[in-house]
Amino acid sequence: MKKTVLAFIIILVGMFLFLSLIDTSDYVAGKKLWRGNKRFVEIARDPNVVPKQEFENLADSYTTILADYPDSQFVPLIKFQIGKLLTLKGSYGEARKSFAEIAEQYAGNSDMCTRALLYVGMTYEKEARGKEAIKIYKKIMSAYPRTDIGLRMPMLIMRYYKRAGDKGEALKAYLDAVAFYTKIHEENHDNVYGFRALNILSQAYLNQKNWEKAVDVLARMLIEYSSLKFVDYRKVYNIIKTINTVSLTHLKNYDRPKAIYTEFLEENPQHPIKRVLSEMIVAIDELKGNQDLPEGATDNVR
């Protein structure tokens, strides 16, 4: 029996060691990257109190992973981490160089490229060189409009000017953003970017407290993209919630959401959310009824 138990231990330990040693997969690279990223998060908490040597050590770890696993799927991620580390360290020029290299190396990959350019812009912002940052953001906007980051650029520019206190430029950026998203929606009506453009446009209107236009855009999102191809239930409920909140709280208009939901139900009589919208219409009617009653009318009811 003792020999059998010993054999079990030898088999288990032997198998573990053997499989660990022969593993040359991305798993090991991912493990080292995870450890590096953990140290990165600790440094990022307060980079000002971290000794310079820590930055060097972490940068060396990342470089070693790159050298040991040059074909790993994590290579772009590691390069980004090196750039972000340089940004935290305050070496903005070197960070920009690093991000620019990524943008050049992955020119065919729009997601990677836009992300690298975004970080370049952010380093300019950190150096208080806003004009260069805006130039980069506009470059992303024009060259890569059909990417997640490209779509966010007009809002980013608007927020930059707001933070800087430049109301004139902020208003101009807001108008440019409206034109941009309207154009993107017209050109991409049948795909997800059309929906996303409307989504961000509604946020821009809400940001500017332009309630009427916000509700109009939200209505279009609900009706034009009712097929749930790009929109899951959670997004639909968020759209409905926003329409209700804005219409009832800010516009004090009970008929507008009713008209939106009625139009939706007429165009989509078998839609999965028809019951929710029907109940919503009834609830809005009840709310409106309570609002229309003269003061004191319900006293006897109490």
Partner 1 sequence: MNTTRKQVCMSNTEFRKHPIQLSRSAFNELFQSPAIFFPFSVLAFVQLLILEIFFFAPRFPLSGFFGPIINKFAGSKYLIYPNNYILLDRWFNHWSVQGIVFVFLGSFFIGVAILIINSINNEGQINLPAIYKETWQRYVHLWCAALTVFSVIFFFSFLYGLIYKRALLIRSTSGGFFFIKQLVMQGAPLYQLLIALFSLAVFAYIFPIIILEKRGFFSALVLNFKMLWSSFICILLVVIIPALLYIPLLLLKINGKLFVNVWAPEGWGMLMVCLILVTMFIDAWQYTAITTCYILDRESR
Please answer whether residues 129 and 106 qualify as being in contact, where contact means their C-beta atoms are separated by less than 8 angstroms. no
User: Whole-number minimum distance, CB 264 to partner 1, in Å?
Assistant: 26
Residue in 10, 17, 25, 228 binding partner 1, rule: CB under 8 A:
25
Q: Does 34 bind partner 1 (CB under 8 A)?
A: yes
193: tokens are: 């970017």
Q: Does 27 bind partner 1 (CB under 8 A)?
A: yes
Listed ranges 18-26, 84-92, 143-151, 221-229: which one lies at the site for partner 1 (CB under 8 A) = 18-26
Q: Does 64 bind partner 1 (CB under 8 A)?
A: no
Residue in 3, 10, 16, 140 binding partner 1, rule: CB under 8 A:
16
Q: Which of 2, 252 has the CB closer to partner 1?
A: 2
Listed ranges 19-27, 83-91, 112-120, 186-194: which one lies at the site for partner 1 (CB under 8 A) = 19-27
Q: Which of 21, 301 has the CB closer to partner 1?
A: 21
Find the largest Cα–Cα distance for the chain: 92
- The secondary structure of 99-153 as a DSSP string is HHHHHHHTTT-HHHHHHHHHHHHHHHHHTT-HHHHHHHHHHHHHH-TTSHHHHHH
User: Whole-number minimum distance, CB 283 to partner 1, in Å?
Assistant: 18
Radius of gyration of the chain (CA): 27
Cβ atoms within 10 Å of 68's Cβ, excluding its own? 12
How far, in Å, CA of 202 to CA of 216, rounded?
9
Q: Does 233 bind partner 1 (CB under 8 A)?
A: no
User: Whole-number minimum distance, CB 99 to partner 1, in Å?
Assistant: 24
User: Helices H, strands E: what count in the chain?
Assistant: 14, 0
Residues between 254 and 273 with contacts to partner 1, criterion CB under 8 A: none
CA 55, 60, 65: angle at the middle one, nearest 5?
130
Residues that bind partner 1 (CB under 8 A): 1, 4-5, 8, 11-12, 15-16, 19, 22-27, 30-31, 34
